[in-house]
Amino acid sequence: MNATAIILAAGEGTRMKSNHAKVSHAILGKPMICWVVDAALGAGCERVVVVVGSHADEVRGIIDATYGSSQAVVECVEQAERLGTAHAVRIALEATSIDAGPVVVLNGDLPLIQPETIGNFANTVAAGDVAATVLSFKPQDPQGYGRIVLDTDGSLLRIVEQKDCTPEEAAIGECNAGCYAFDGAQLKAHIGEVGCDNAQHEYYLPDMLGILREAGERVASYCCEDYRDGLGVNSRSQLAELTAVARDRINERLMAEGVTFIDPAQAWIGPDATVGRDTVIWPQTHLIGACVVGEDCVLGPNTRLTNVRVGDRCSVDETVGIDVVLENDITCGPRAYLRPGTHVLDGAHIGTHVEIKKSTIGKGSKVPHLSYIGDTTMGAGVNIGAGSITCNYDGVNKHPTTIGDNTFIGSDTMMVAPVNIGSHAVTGAGGTITQDVPDGALAVERTEQRIIEGYSERKRARK
């Protein structure tokens, strides 16, 4: 589809009472503006122009970080003076030389709009017999929305704001969603005719509809199949409401694909996550960012994974993981913390109160409980005793630890990096290992135990 999307993200959103741009607020871990951009790209728009204004640097930073390295054509244009929606569109047209094809103008605070809706919306002006189309929807409660009044031939007659509605008009269920599709040539030709003769002295995009009608062009409306596509965010309460809708949509889709939810209302799966069939998701599980979960897994309860890849047949219980790879047949938790750079190979076990950072845990290796493993390369079949720590930081630099295959690390072993422990080696419990341990060797480091008879009685006597 040779269409362009102009996304208006210049508004301040004062009702959010925030120090940040309204469109930067996240739904399921993803900024609102990215939901709209992704929907436009998913609809086949070949160009996406984001008009920024308030907090321009913040919004531009989100766009650059998300789309800068991709092949998607997403760019930002700044509306330095915020003089209304028509002014924003005119700036976008002038900066990008858009003058043909369907142009859809979307709001950056409309995160639930779906690609199919945008595609169908753009197609209403693709044939050239309609100059502009208004996106409409039928909310459960139309109070506060402008009503769509149609002519006898089905074309758009007018949009009446709530305060101006007659009783008959107030009873109309079809409402204005605030988005518009234009024939690009007609938009370019007439956008300069929009005036600012109003109380706010701003240029309003809806005025284009009257201008086009006066020019003899046809104006229509397109009603969303799902009214939720037209819901916007203007407050924290609405942000929470739309987050719940997005959650329900995603979870319903995953259940249809073969994923089990113990309680779908208590699992928060981001829009970029994928989950394999026959995986079970327990309450208070969060998948944020580009998570990929395989088949036959059990996630949660109380698990938060961000940009984590999980293989098949894994159990991840009460775990926080960030930028981590878990291969197949892994058990993890409860109460584990997996930090960026962790890679856990097939069949390994990460137990209770374990923290792992920037380390590879070999096939079938075990870190069962109360341990910290950092900057470590661990072989296969290793067993880490309770309370063991890789002492990888000297106060200035981080240092590596290597542990060979089938090595047994005794409980409460301190491995002071840099240090290499060979294969089939053993360290005695309570040791502080500061030197390399050869393959097959036993490393024991502890002071001689002393027994002082009668100590408690003498201590009481001193009191």
Q: Which residues of 200-237 are buried (b: 16+ CB within 10 A; e: fewer)?
A: eeebbbbbbbebbbeeebbbbbbbbebbbbbbbbeeee
d(CA 329, CA 132): 55
166 exposure class (CB count in 10 Å sphere: 0-12, 13-18, 19+): exposed
Rg over alpha carbons for the chain, rounded to the nearest Å, is 30
- Regarding beta strands 175-183 and 132-137, do their DSSP bridges make them parallel or antiparallel, or are they unpaired? antiparallel
d(CA 343, CA 376): 10
d(CA 93, CA 329): 54
Query: And the tokens for 134?
Result: 């208004």
392: Cβ–Cβ under 8 A, 6 or more apart, which residues?
Answer: 374, 375, 376, 398, 399, 400, 401, 417
> What amino acid positions are annotated as catalytic residues?
369
Max distance between CA atoms of the chain, in angstroms, equals: 108
d(CA 31, CA 25): 5
Contact of 120 with 39, CB cutoff 8 Å: no
Q: Which long-range contacts (CB under 8 A, 24 or more apart) does 299-305 make?
A: 300/267, 301/262, 302/334, 303/333
Query: And the tokens for 208?
Result: 């284009």
d(CA 55, CA 60): 9
Contact of 269 with 28, CB cutoff 8 Å: yes
Angle at 40 between CA 69 and CA 33, to 5 degrees: 70
Contact of 341 with 323, CB cutoff 8 Å: yes
Phi–psi pair at 205, nearest 5 degrees: -65, -35
- Regarding beta strands 292-293 and 309-310, do their DSSP bridges make them parallel or antiparallel, or are they unpaired? parallel
